[in-house]
Amino acid sequence: MAISHQPYQSASNAQPRFGRPPLTPRAKSGARWAGILGFNLMALGWFVVITPVLLSVFAAFLTFVFDQMGRSSAVGNENYLQLRRIVETVNVNAWVLPLMLVTFVGIVIWAVGIFVSGRILKSHAVNHPWGVTWAATGIAIVASWILDWVCAAAVQLVIVVTSAVDSSHWVGIAVGGALVCVVAIVIHSIIGWLAWWWMAHAMRSSRPAA
């Protein structure tokens, strides 16, 4: 009975296994700018979309409050009657089309952010540019929900302190508004940068860059 002998293969002759190569500097740069520009555009588009929704909800709530007050003793209050007359003079139907246009513009801005991200990633040779864009967008949205609440609380504190120092309430509103814009851009830039880099790193190619 013949016994077959398989040749011994030493560890030195075995082919080594290498992990996926790291992101190239070009891909890192593309992920950074795609996250900063893309996510800031998406955040702006979301803000433009949500503003008409919040205004509609506020108008519906105000109408409900007036209906409830109209059934109570507040109907004889002069301030209530004056405010009610002002509200009733507003033509609600005239605001429907502008609010719809604002919502459409917000959706377009959001879509432009997605497109800009994908194009930047593709031009910088990032693997799966559209997959990176959608995955990073989901991560960035969740992170921004948490940090935006912290930002809103900090800005509210600044408005209160500014109003206490200056008797003009409009100064506090102006300072708070400017601070909101600056802080929002910084926060969304950091979130976009980290989320896009993370997803570009997770989806990087297993082949070395040419």
Q: With a cut of 70, say whether residue 97 has pLDDT above it.
A: yes
Most trustworthy range by pLDDT among 13-17, 22-26, 69-73, 161-165: 22-26
Question: Model's pTM, two decimal places?
Answer: 0.74
pLDDT tens profile 115-138: 999 999 999 999 999 999 999 999
Most trustworthy range by pLDDT among 157-161, 167-171, 195-199: 195-199
Distance CA 32, CA 13 (A): 41
**Three-state DSSP class for 164?**
helix
For the residues 87-97, what does the mean pLDDT come to? 69
Q: With a cut of 90, say whether residue 31 has pLDDT above it.
A: yes
What pLDDT was estimated at residue 11?
Answer: 46
What pLDDT was estimated at residue 207?
Answer: 72
Look-up: residue for tokens 């400017």? Answer: 178
Q: How many residues does the chain have?
A: 210
Average predicted confidence (pLDDT) for the chain: 79
Residue 158 pLDDT level (bands cut at 50, 70, 90): low
Distance CA 24, CA 177 (A): 39
For the residues 20-31, what does the mean pLDDT come to? 91
